[in-house]
Amino acid sequence: MFLTRVSAVVEIACRNDLKRMRVPILGAFLVCLIVLTIGSCSAKADDGYNLWLRYRPVENADLLQSYRAVLSSIVVADTSDTAIIVEKELQRGLGSLLQTQIPVGSLPPSANSLVVGTPQALPAPVLDDVLQMLRTVGREGFVIVSKRGEQPPFILIAANTPIGTLYGSFHFLRILQEGQTLNNLKIVSTPRLQYRMLNHWDNLDGSVERGYAGRSLWKWDELPATIDQRYHDYARANASIGINGTVLNNVNANPELLLPNYLKKVAALADVFRPYGIRVFLSANFSSPLSAQFDVEKNRCGGIGELDTSDPLDPRVREWWKRKVREIYALIPDFGGFLVKANSEGMPGPQEYGRSHADGANMLAEALAPYGGIVMWRAFVYDPEVDLDRTKRAYKEFVPLDGRFLPNVFVQVKNGPLDFQPREPVSPLFGAMPKTPLMLELQITQEYLGHSTHLVYLASMWKEYLDFDLHAKGVGSTLARVVDGSLHGHSMTGIAGVANTGSDREWTGHLFAQANWYAFGRLAWDHTLSAEQIASEWIGMTFGFHPTILSTVSSMMLGAWEACVNYMTPLGLHHIMQEHVHYGPEPSLAKGREDWTSVYYHRADKEGIGYNRSSSGSNAVSQYHPPLRELFDDVSTCPEKYLLWFHRVPWTHRMSSGRTLWEEMNYRYYAGTQYVSRMQDHWRSLQPLIAAELFEHVNAKLKQHYHDAIIWRDTCLTYFQKFSGLPIIPLP
């Protein structure tokens, strides 16, 4: 092990250009060799693979001594597969944090033990007053208490299930990483959402739609015989933040994944994920029951079945899905269910047979119900025959179906009414379907936010959405309350994030994109957490809790999303990007389908700019409840961050800053790029405190980020200037 570490140091040193270090190669090797022997080489290679689970040694001597004093042994009172993972994780984490091996003990606990277990495995004297708390945390929550008054004293992590103890153990390790006191612990934590999902848009050929971190994690050609260690590490990372479900494949689903040979591969992954509390789900292609014969008229292949129809009201089709579901559960007893994209972007669906979304979803829900499975039916639809304004179509298609879905059906709705734009108002659908459980769909992968090149911390965006008040039942009807079921009394609740993981060594293509994966999980568990708190946790566990690192990196992250909005689509502009790739700016795009072009959305001419969705335009404002309807409808009261989303405004319109609209656009575009420039400066100031490999990785990303942000700014301002006829005004 030691020689392996030394070899790694030499390799890193060579890559980092030793001439710059102004020390001979042999001298550099010997210095690192000596430092490694005492276990504290600051230049130790860190390629980002370990995510937020690095478990850096506690540096404060007094704190380290206090932790060691109360953590003399680990007692895991269970023998399940999950309990084995708990024990290994605690040994790994505590051993690294406390720089000493913590022995495994047994019941009854000795003095200063860390005891972990469920009521079924722990003796009554260990639990006593904790039982009442456990009644409030459900099957996934946990309790952490300091039993200092006991003889002998110990710390207890208790839960109703082994999975709860795993979540509690990760939380306890987070407490130590943050340097919190262990005196008088009394933590009661339960997830606010039942289903906390990652949606992978991975294809069977190994590609990833909207993936910017390499190829798919799933090696279908090797499964089920070969189980990559990365599958375990993926599950471990998700369990550490409470994610409990994963959809393995793209919503643009290939029916072949439901064939027996692929289902055996899925089952192998499910076996890996199960002890970590993660259930496997699949995206289902609605035409799967069809025969594989090519359909010339519709220009697509059929399914994997033998039928001539996939009409959801046809008894043969319903029976086909029941047989397929029975086959799946024989292999995967805890299979979660299906995610479905139907009648959207060319994907087949029930409307091809004159049936509704509810008809299609209910057919699948009926097949899954006996096994406890669910359907997540996406509301991402935009048939131009429904309405000329694409942002109105999901509302118009789904609101009439409220109350017609079976109880095990979610309607899965994107955060905004268009398509994961840098900023949108909340989708009005969330305020209009009180009888239907709605699953919020967020996008962790940065499809429209600079892919894995731009540093954009998305928790800031997600908090703006979660705190958005839809006024569906008066003041306080936030999106968070719609999604967590408290507003309308739904017991089935959930949230989904389109994953940003891939085969790249650091998982997400950009080290800081790991923060978005982490933040999604933390908010899925508890949406009341602040973006600031989550950032602080991630920064400390990734780079260390040095005050300068915490303050500097936090200042970079917390304003990054607003900066991105400013240099891409300020003041409510949207959909100004290169077609297909969705990366760079293309405000002049005027080819293709009318409602997919940038000019369709910004509508710039010499008179002004913006899409009129007020009552005098498309009347999209009517889909919101009062007082939002009136607020958005009036150009004088519409929040300026949504101004050009809802209104067409003259270039000379006076803004709240006193600037004209054109001047404000200039200000926002330049402010956005200036923020990225400051992020570069902040990051460079941290070079002595950051591991060399991580520093160079982020530094190179920020350099490209700044370059691309300037292209966004200059391209858009130059294009819009052709219409405004006014000078571009750089910031000093």
Catalytically annotated residues: 345, 419, 447
Which string of DSSP letters, residue by residue, matches 572-584? G----S-TTT--S
**Burial class (CB within 10 angstroms; exposed 0-12, middle 13-18, buried 19+) of 580:** exposed
Which runs of consecutive H residues, i.e. helices, occur in 635-730? 643-646, 661-685, 692-724
* d(C-alpha 296, C-alpha 293), whole Å: 9
Distance, in Å, from the CA atom of 278 to the CA atom of 507, rounded to the nearest integer, reads 19
Q: Which three-class secondary structure state does DSSP give residue 25?
A: helix
Peptide bond into 626 cis (omega under 30): no
On the CB side of 517, how many CA atoms lie within 13 Å of its CA?
Answer: 27
Strands, E assignment, 6-72:
none
Distances (CA, A) of 99 to 92, 104, 114, 388: 10, 16, 17, 63
Alpha-carbon gap, residue 561 to 563, rounded angstroms:
5
Contacting residues for 433 by C-beta, under 8 A, at least 6 apart: 398, 399, 402, 411
Q: Would residue 418 be called left, alpha or beta, if left means φ above 0 and alpha means ψ between -120 and 50 degrees?
A: alpha
Cross-strand partners of 405:
none
Q: Which class for 484: exposed (0-12), middle (13-18), buried (19 or more C-beta within 10 A)?
A: buried
Strands 245-247 and 195-199, bridge-based pairing:
parallel
Q: Across-strand partners of 442?
A: 497
Three-class SS state of 174: helix
CA distance 467 to 478: 6
CB distance 243 to 277 below 8 Å: no
Q: How far apart are CA 176 and CA 166, in angstroms?
A: 16
Helix/strand/coil for 676: helix
